[in-house]
C-alpha cells in the first residue's frame, strides 16, 4: 500500500509495517484500502507541471553566449507550455515575493530572491495571458506606459 496515502488519510498513524499501520499507542489502525488506493498526491501535479517548463539557465546561457537559436528554443518551449496552460503567467522568482507593505506592488526591497536579473513580466509581456495584471511595480509601470502611448 501507499505509505504517503495512509499517512495523509490517517493522521494518527506513526508506524507502518508491511500492510499494517499503528498509532502512537502501538494500536493497529484500520485502513480503508479503497480510500488509500483512490488518494492522489497533491504535489504530483505541481511537480509534473514544473518539469514541463524549460530551464531558465538555458535562456540565460543563450543570452550570455549571444546564441539566438538557444534563446529562441527557450521562447518556443515557453510557448509550448503556454499552449497547454493558456492562463499561466510568466514571472521571475522575485515577482512571487510577498507584498510586505500591502501597497499592491512588489518592489526590489521586498524581493526574497533577486532572480532573474531581468524583469520576466516585461520581457515576456507578449506571452502573458489576456488581461494580465503584473505583480511588480516595474511591470505595472511598463504596462501603464504602453496603454498611455495608444
Q: 56-65 vs 68-84: helix axis angle to the nearest 10? A: 150
Classified as helix, coil or strand, 22 is strand
How many other C-beta atoms are found inside a 10 Å radius of the C-beta of residue 131?
Answer: 6
Rounded distance, CA 95 to CA 116, Å?
A: 9
Comparison of pLDDT for 124 and 58, the residue scoring more: 124
- Enclosing H/E stretch for 21: strand 20-23
pLDDT, tens only, 45-79: 777 777 777 776 677 677 777 778 888 888 888 88
Q: Look at 7-11, 71-75, 87-91, 113-117 and tell me which has the smallest mean pLDDT.
A: 113-117
At residue 105, the pLDDT reads 80
Tell me the domain boundaries of the chain. Answer: 3-39, 43-87, 89-150
Amino acid at each position: 500500500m501507499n505509505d504517503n496515502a495512509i499517512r495523509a488519510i490517517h493522521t494518527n498513524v506513526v508506524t507502518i509495517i508491511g500492510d499494517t499501520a499503528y498509532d502512537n499507542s502501538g494500536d493497529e489502525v484500520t485502513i480503508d484500502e479503497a480510500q488509500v488506493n483512490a488518494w492522489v498526491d497533491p504535489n504530483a501535479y505541481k511537480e509534473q507541471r514544473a518539469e514541463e517548463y524549460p530551464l531558465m539557465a538555458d535562456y540565460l546561457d543563450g543570452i550570455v553566449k549571444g546564441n539566438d537559436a538557444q534563446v529562441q528554443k527557450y521562447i518556443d518551449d515557453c510557448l509550448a507550455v503556454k499552449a497547454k496552460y493558456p492562463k499561466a503567467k510568466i514571472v521571475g522568482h522575485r515577482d512571487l515575493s510577498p507584498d510586505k507593505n500591502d501597497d499592491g506592488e512588489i518592489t526590489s526591497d521586498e524581493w526574497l530572491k533577486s532572480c532573474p536579473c531581468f524583469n520576466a513580466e516585461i520581457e515576456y509581456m507578449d506571452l502573458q495571458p489576456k488581461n494580465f495584471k503584473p505583480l511588480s511595480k516595474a511591470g505595472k509601470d511598463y504596462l501603464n506606459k504602453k496603454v498611455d502611448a495608444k
